[in-house]
Structure 1
């Protein structure tokens, strides 16, 4: 058993079912959405865009692809896969959405783990960046996911259609997550802690502004099943890899030109990866 496409897509304009017809998808009202040459579907209407090219741009996606494929965040992927597959049987398929999937790294790792455990997944990768979804579709040799350009604020899936939902370093929209998850469905969320990449941030910023620690609130409609901190040392020995890491973070744009120049001058970097991985269950 392995991953297969998720096909219960809905029209982003009306929320009604979409049906595949050759090289496009249509709803009953006649709205039509083409399948791109790379195999993904664009379900982000122009009126729902906040910019002409929302999400990560092409260079950022390329940097993330190279960095992640080198295995630097492999421990995170393994932890996410374990939580996602936990308590799943092998006698039926389960629907899984990665909300903010980027170039698909974590879904590819999940597919490998699911195959090892003989778990069948119907997989949907969703991202607001056209470049990220394009890269994910191009790299999809085994997962056979459905890759969609779309927004977490308007997930193109029916109510109560998902068994598992991933939100990794992303922008959670809990009302939508609550809508598409089945009762007892699980949300796996990964967020950076204040210690995450601290040594890199110390290079970029003259003074680090630490926010007072506060326990994150449990989203309405969910129960917290687990919360664990994952930390390890990341040792980078090439300027190109350090630049790729910076390009994956919001610090690329938040930093001053001087801060970015200091980071660009680095040829080695030892920094701490520190994330919290939480698992919620829909009530």
Structure 2
């Protein structure tokens, strides 16, 4: 059974939120309406670093189109297996994007008769809008990892897929014995694209994405596979959906945009951490 996660807290005073029809309310009178797309905005204006934080609408559309073609399906399968290995649980997808990986997990949970309570957040309203349209059973939130609007010790598993971990907040919302599952690029990830768009490729750090003082690395798996991008549109989508579009030189982008096809390497770490 797939259910929404209901232990939300007010982003203004940290009090528990109660759902009254289509509005989340706290005892101090703060209220947050559920949008028609099925999500709630729990990112106060004072916590935004820009007028439109997070991934742009163009980035979200490109990523959704790219991922819908199954290019990263092996990663989605590996992540789903890792998440569902412990059975029934509550999940927070901390940086859910347009929801591709979470939707894969939910679909496989239904196939395996695993019960999930699911919350998902992203700082980009465009990403959350796109994700919420796919499955209104989940608790979708516009929010930040810097101030997660969930109760203390309420979540069994946190997902952080190509995201930015905020260790103090992750530790706060995880239950004792809970897990943090992170997906991060390995050294050869998109190496072929990088060789085209950058004059020099910097070596990736080999450090773990979270502090070894606070976490125990329970398992890690390196997932590597080849992807054939068959046309200019697929190459364009890949460029647009990643930060490389804003980091690469103008000359590099122009070279990539002229490609008729491209064979790339997907190379990522799937790591499971537990609290010390």
Which range moved further: 153-162 or 248-257? 248-257
1:58-137 equivalences in 2 (<5 Å): 58-88=57-87, 93-137=88-132
CA RMSD of aligned residues (A): 1.4
In structure 2, distance between residues paired with 1:114 and 1:212: 34
In structure 1, distance between residues paired with 2:205 and 2:154: 38
Q: Which residue of 2 aligns with 1:233?
A: 226
CA offsets per residue over residues 17-73 of structure 1, 9 Å max, x none? Answer: 001112211111111111111110000000000000000011110001111111111
Secondary structure of 1:260's aligned partner: helix
Unaligned runs of 5+ in 1: none
In structure 2, distance between residues paired with 1:97 and 1:214: 24
Question: Is structure 2 residue 250 aligned with structure 1 residue 257?
Answer: yes
In structure 2, distance between residues paired with 1:7 and 1:279: 25
1:190-269 equivalences in 2 (<5 Å): 190-211=183-204, 213-214=206-207, 218-269=211-262
In structure 1, distance between residues paired with 2:151 and 2:256: 44
Q: Does the aligned pair in 2 maintain the 1:174–1:219 contact within 8 Å?
A: no
Q: Which residue of 1 aligns with 2:4?
A: 5
In structure 2, distance between residues paired with 1:137 and 1:216: 28
Q: CA deviation at 1:235?
A: 0.8
TM-score (norm 1): 0.94
Unaligned runs of 5+ in 2: none
In structure 1, distance between residues paired with 2:193 and 2:73: 19
In structure 2, distance between residues paired with 1:209 and 1:85: 35
Q: Does the aligned pair in 2 maintain the 1:218–1:224 contact within 8 Å?
A: no
Q: CA deviation at 1:211?
A: 4.3
Cα–Cα, structure 1 residues 212 and 38, in superposed 2: closer, same or farther, change >3 Å? closer
Number of corresponding residues: 276
Cα–Cα, structure 1 residues 211 and 37, in superposed 2: closer, same or farther, change >3 Å? closer
Q: Does the aligned pair in 2 maintain the 1:189–1:279 contact within 8 Å?
A: yes
Which of 164, 171, 186 is equivalent to 1:171? 164
Cα–Cα, structure 1 residues 242 and 192, in superposed 2: closer, same or farther, change >3 Å? same
Cα–Cα, structure 1 residues 217 and 129, in superposed 2: closer, same or farther, change >3 Å? closer
Secondary structure of 1:139's aligned partner: coil
In structure 1, distance between residues paired with 2:14 and 2:213: 23
TM-score (norm 2): 0.96
In structure 2, distance between residues paired with 1:215 and 1:160: 24
